Structure 1
């Protein structure tokens, strides 16, 4: 593991040369990253197919295209974000100028998960580059094809002293967490997020944690059921449900439950046909361990739709389950797979109270034509982010920060928020030397009296 410490030390030395801080340097590196992604598009698509059985449409829209759009947005706004921000000075600072400089942290560690292994490794890197940092990337060992490809791509276009990929399993991650990084950006499970935060705390390293949790989709009786069904099914079963912001369970008003489930069944046939296990557009489960964990959930209630599975291909059909309670195992942890439990309600207040009793979700989706109810949900429940009458779309906008709250994460990124996530705001007061206020010093006569008038 000595080579890990050496690589971090090499990056520390390089960062202190100051080369990464100029606008021209950052712009060039973002363009280099964009170009290598475009150059390797066929290989990226194949690697995502090999690891997760992602279709070309899904792989491009959720991984490649997402990154290219993020880079384009960042390049457009980078100079503006880098410009020191002049702010007002209070009367106590008369004669001075106050400025906020956003400076890079230094050498950063970016640990990626396996569910969107390409996008979630490189999206934070965009922020790290834009902010002027060096970066160590740790891809997931559960997606070996993507991990190997990322390592190859980065090695071809960036020197190790600037950006380096370190592959490996849990032992490698453990060793990385012992290094004196200046910032750690982690995307993954709550359980591992706690380990990362504990390791960072030992060295007082700031962290960004993008975690997960049980994100509800709530459908009230006045919702547009046809659109709700289509948008929930799309959000839930993209990447076979292996998405941190996927609807984890459905809360539907009892008056429209049967009608909504009928609509959802029609949508699933439209999306994946009568035999989703064989559909090329439908994703597979990442590993045998995760497949077995998900299969056990199928015994928790009654399967209304789906339930078919094939262990040899690690694929489980889009599944909707009824007669589920909060005590069932499927409701005790984030599902992270193609299983959607259904709960019903008659009063919205019941839903609010039940969601509040659990850890704060990463996302929440509410379907209703009533803006009053939408405002009530937004105000009454704490969650990372979400949509009204849709799923997923809040994560796509570069104008919106994405992140969790409480156990679903800390910190946010995307667009300007990515630049801010990898930057320290350094406050500077430029004081005049043309005059001086005697009352600020302890030797001043009546100094305290003047101060009280100014500050009281």
Structure 2
């Protein structure tokens, strides 16, 4: 059914029967939350799930070719041949091509490193954005609805499809068919017009997380502490977009890490860090007041385990470590951009992934560990602009890696070729000659022409010959 001007919708429900309901901001939030839970569970990330959904989409198109053609005729009076060639055949081709290429697309790309980061290795890992919203156009309502969905599914995302209300027959058919063929826990179709679209656009369909720093007990502890300090206080006294905002480590390991940090901090900045010439000042009195406000928050009283000294006249704040600050304190809900480093403790490091994924996507995230399984889990499950294993911030020095954010931590990336690509449109150019102009593409459309085009598009040589003979 089509949405009325009053703002009704049809959503593919779990029992696969369209159900009318009022769709407002609360309904949109609920929908996005449901899909986010599916995505966070990792269901959509596997190669097997992606392939199964693409195959289901292909089967949907093959099983219901006549229904699709009829819907397109109802909405746009599209001739059968045009509907088949411009929408159905193109959608099938896109789906088949993606199935053939997907495994190769998912393989991480190994890239070079520079002498600056020696010894090291690097790779670029393709990862899904999360929950994505596809808003379709009306002029090719079947193709332009599902072609983006193919890409979104191939990339491992959960998907909300909002078909165009201007093509209501196709829109209703998409609700019905996707409800029957696709995984309804990860792919939803919402019908409606401006109110429904606005409610969806108000949601953060690409979810935000924050800069995080993780620790693990089997470290070379001294090296770990020194690298954390270099990447936090050694970078403009924490006033850097990729300095660590907080550390997550286990409860039993936290005291060891704190002791190691204290020892190295004294070595670097002495017992009176406010007079150290190796420690940057806060950039302005306004920023000094902002950082001081975070430190003076009543909710973090008694949580300082090192530092905390301030010099307002010289705009200096000492390297400050805090332990087990509450989740709702100011410094855990704002970008610190200064010398404060809260430490959050968990029972095991796998729990830290939940903390990370409950927050804004970070510009950078770091982990220190010698555990191969934990490294792999970190790379697979943590979404950030960039990841670095066993160091802080140094990935920015590698020109073969892109640098940039994701979600609210930024859009696009740069460095080397990636800077070029960010500001480049890849223009498609197709050169053709005047030869080979087939009359089958032009009206009047006949059954013989349709038969020939189907045979040509499927690569069926025998069918092509039969079509030519019978034409």
| TM-score, scaled to structure 1 | 0.52
In structure 2, which of residues 199, 223, 227 is the aligned counterpart of residue 227 of structure 1? 223
Quickly say closer, same or farther: Cα 1:224–1:438, change in 2 above 3 A: farther
Show the 5 A alignment for 1:28-427.
214-237=210-233, 238-299=235-296, 300-301=300-301, 302-427=303-428
Residues of 2 paired with 1:399 and 1:437: CA distance?
Answer: 47
Pair member with larger Rg = 2
Matched position secondary structure for 2:217: coil
The structure 1 segments of at least 4 consecutive aligned residues displaced by more than 4 Å after TM superposition are none
Matched position secondary structure for 1:382: coil
Matched position secondary structure for 1:376: helix
Question: Post-superposition shift, 1:226?
Answer: 1.5
CA contact (8 A) 1:213 1:244 kept: no
Quickly say closer, same or farther: Cα 1:312–1:431, change in 2 above 3 A: same
Question: Post-superposition shift, 1:444?
Answer: 6.3
Q: Which moved more, 1:242-251 or 1:374-383?
A: 374-383
Question: Post-superposition shift, 1:451?
Answer: 2.6
Residues of 1 paired with 2:417 and 2:403: CA distance?
Answer: 11
Q: Deviations over 1:358-399 (max 9, x none)?
A: 111111101111111111111112111120111111111111
CA contact (8 A) 2:249 2:349 kept: no
Matched position secondary structure for 1:399: coil
CA contact (8 A) 1:395 1:402 kept: yes
Residues of 2 paired with 1:231 and 1:372: CA distance?
Answer: 22
Matched position secondary structure for 1:417: helix
Residues of 1 paired with 2:211 and 2:457: CA distance?
Answer: 47
Q: Deviations over 1:72-104 (max 9, x none)?
A: xxxxxxxxxxxxxxxxxxxx9xxxxxxxxxxxx
Matched position secondary structure for 1:424: coil
Residues of 2 paired with 1:368 and 1:275: CA distance?
Answer: 32
Matched position secondary structure for 1:410: coil
Residues of 1 paired with 2:227 and 2:453: CA distance?
Answer: 60
CA contact (8 A) 2:215 2:249 kept: yes
**5+ residue gaps in structure 2?**
1-92, 94-207, 459-471
Residues of 2 paired with 1:249 and 1:306: CA distance?
Answer: 16
In structure 2, which of residues 418, 433, 454 is the aligned counterpart of residue 452 of structure 1? 454
CA contact (8 A) 1:438 1:444 kept: no
CA contact (8 A) 2:229 2:265 kept: yes
Residues of 1 paired with 2:450 and 2:278: CA distance?
Answer: 74
Quickly say closer, same or farther: Cα 1:425–1:277, change in 2 above 3 A: same
Question: Post-superposition shift, 1:340?
Answer: 0.0
Aligned residues: CA RMSD: 1.9
Question: Post-superposition shift, 1:434?
Answer: 3.3
Question: Post-superposition shift, 1:453?
Answer: 2.8
How many residue pairs are counted as aligned between the two chains?
246
CA contact (8 A) 2:216 2:368 kept: yes
Residues of 2 paired with 1:242 and 1:325: CA distance?
Answer: 23
Residues of 2 paired with 1:335 and 1:408: CA distance?
Answer: 14
CA contact (8 A) 1:244 1:336 kept: yes
Quickly say closer, same or farther: Cα 1:231–1:429, change in 2 above 3 A: same
Structure (1 or 2) with the greater strand fraction = 1
Q: Which moved more, 1:251-260 or 1:333-342?
A: 251-260
What is the aligned partner in structure 1 of residue 100 from structure 2?
none
CA contact (8 A) 2:209 2:357 kept: no
- Higher relative contact order (CA closer than 8 Å, sequence separation 6+): 1
Question: Post-superposition shift, 1:213?
Answer: 6.7
Matched position secondary structure for 2:354: helix
Matched position secondary structure for 2:387: strand
Quickly say closer, same or farther: Cα 1:232–1:451, change in 2 above 3 A: farther
